[in-house]
Amino acid sequence: MPAGLKLYIYTNYAKALYDTGETKSAIKYYQKAISYKKQSSNEYNKANLDYLYGYMLFQATDSLTQARQYLSNALDFYRKNPSVLLTKSLLALAEVEAKRNNVKESYKLALEAYETEQKIQHKNFHNRLAGFEAELKTKEKNLEIISLNAEKAKNKIAYQTRIYIISSILILIILLSCIIIISLQKRKVALKLSQSELEKELRNKEIQSQQLIDEMNKKMTERYLKGLEDSNNYISKELHNNVCNELLAAEMQLQQANASQLAAQLGVIRETVRNISHQLSTPNFSNISLYQMLNLYVEKLSALKSPALHPYIADEINDLSIPSENILEIYRILQEIISNIIKHAHAQNMYLTVSCTPSDIEVIVEDDDQGFDTSSSHNILTAGLGLQTIKERCNKLQGECEIESTLNKGTIIHMRFPV
């Protein structure tokens, strides 16, 4: 059996299967017909196969891309070789484009289908009109000698008038349909614009809400740290004014009683309490720069034998002008980190590096202790104020804090603050 005949038979059999609701079987026979396309020379049958298969894919499956491809192939042939399927293929492809949300292309295809149908109707109308005119001329010649000629002519004119009226009504209906479609499209576009404005407004509200939450968190952090400083100052005064004085009095009484060893132990206790009170009290940095504070703190730590401090403070820090409250926060952060290293890290060396860029102050504190697992809650940062307080102080300065630690390799705390 020739390939062209197989293509024709499989195509029509697949169409019959699809019309009876057997979609899967129809797809199978359409695909068999497609396998003979290259061997067939009948272009009309090929185009008919593309149209039927593409329309079935659109109606029965989600394969919009394949449906569009086959319908486009059929439409290209029908445009070059006009037939009754030209309008149908245009409308089917318009439906595919509409489902793909390509409204502009869908409208273009629908308009082309309408214009094509108008041309076909116009051509049919002229053909029929030409036939009527030929028939009228023939009848006029045949009935020139009879009295019914005038009556028949009137009937023909009335008939033609009815045709014109019906055609005009059809054209008016089509025009009204186009106007309604265009109006619906405009309303759809307006709805999309309104939805876009609403989404934009919602996004702005979300941004404002997030800004409000950030501002509340910032105020809560400031209140927490202010309360912490006030508590430290209170405890410092109580230790210095009451506990230290009481220990001094006890020490003097013991010296007078010749209990020298116990007096020395009380002296050590008093000195420890005195140091704690000094650490808790808020330093006054109103007349001191960040560079001076860092150097004074390094000088204070240089008395430590273990761990040994290795500082590097860049000269550019001396050119910075930092508010005194920010200097205090940086001092408290360094005090907390280094205090925890001294108490808990068992390090032999610690390294303090302070440098700056045009936009940031960079502080790196490193030690050579045994390190710890950063995922564990038990590490050096859990002592004292801990990681939470350090991070809160960094957030107050709008800075960042990163911690890297590896077992047996030490710990690095890397902080950045805006200038």
Tokens of 97: 């484009």
Considering the domain boundaries, does residue 264 fall inside one?
no
The domain that holds 377 is classified in CATH as 3.30.565.10
Number of residues that make up the chain: 419
67 touches 81 (CB < 8 A): no
The domain that holds 107 is classified in CATH as 1.25.40.10
Considering the domain boundaries, does residue 110 fall inside one?
yes
Query: According to the 3-state scheme, what is the secondary structure of the chain?
Result: CCHHHHHHHHHHHHHHHHHCCCHHHHHHHHHHHHCCCCCCCCHHHHHHHHHHHHHHHHHHCCCHHHHHHHHHHHHHHHHHCCCCHHHHHHHHHHHHHHHCCCHHHHHHHHHHHHHHHHHHHHHHHHHHHHHHHHHHHHHHHHCCCCCCHHHHHHHHHHHHHHHHHHHHHHHHHHHHHHHHHHHHHHHHHHHHHHHHHHHHHHHHHHHHHHHHHHHHHHHHHHHHHHHHHHHHHHHHHHHHHHHHHHHHHHHHHHHHCCCHHHHHHHHHHHHHHHHHHHHHCCCCCCCCCHHHHHHHHHHHHCCCCCCEEEEEECHHHHHCCCCHHHHHHHHHHHHHHHHHHHHHHCCCEEEEEEEECCCEEEEEEEECCCCCCCCCCCCHHHCCCHHHHHHHHHHHCCCEEEEEEECCCEEEEEEEEEC
CA distances from 160 to 69, 117, 126, 169, 354 (A): 44, 21, 12, 14, 101
Residues 6+ positions from 401 with CB-CB distance below 8 Å? 390, 391, 394, 413, 414, 415
Q: What is the pLDDT of residue 192?
A: 87
By residue range, what is the domain housing residue 112?
A: 3-142
Q: What is the pLDDT of residue 377?
A: 47
Sole residue written with tokens 């005195």: 274
Q: How many domains does the chain have?
A: 2
Considering the domain boundaries, does residue 180 fall inside one?
no
340 touches 383 (CB < 8 A): yes
Mean pLDDT by 10 residues, the chain (419 residues): 84 88 88 86 87 87 86 88 84 87 88 85 81 79 81 89 91 91 89 87 85 68 58 60 66 68 70 61 75 90 82 92 88 87 81 92 90 58 60 88 84 91
Tokens of 28: 């199978």
Sole residue written with tokens 């318009």: 94
Q: What is the pLDDT of residue 237?
A: 60
d(CA 45, CA 51): 10
Considering the domain boundaries, does residue 328 fall inside one?
yes
Q: What is the pLDDT of residue 363?
A: 95
Domain endpoint, select from 142, 165, 191: 142
pTM over 0.75: no
Considering the domain boundaries, does residue 73 fall inside one?
yes
Considering the domain boundaries, does residue 148 fall inside one?
no
Q: What is the pLDDT of residue 227?
A: 56
Considering the domain boundaries, does residue 123 fall inside one?
yes
Domain endpoint, select from 142, 174, 200: 142
Considering the domain boundaries, does residue 378 fall inside one?
yes
Domain endpoint, select from 112, 142, 172: 142
Residue 124: Cβ-neighbour burial (10 angstroms; 0-12, 13-18, 19+): exposed
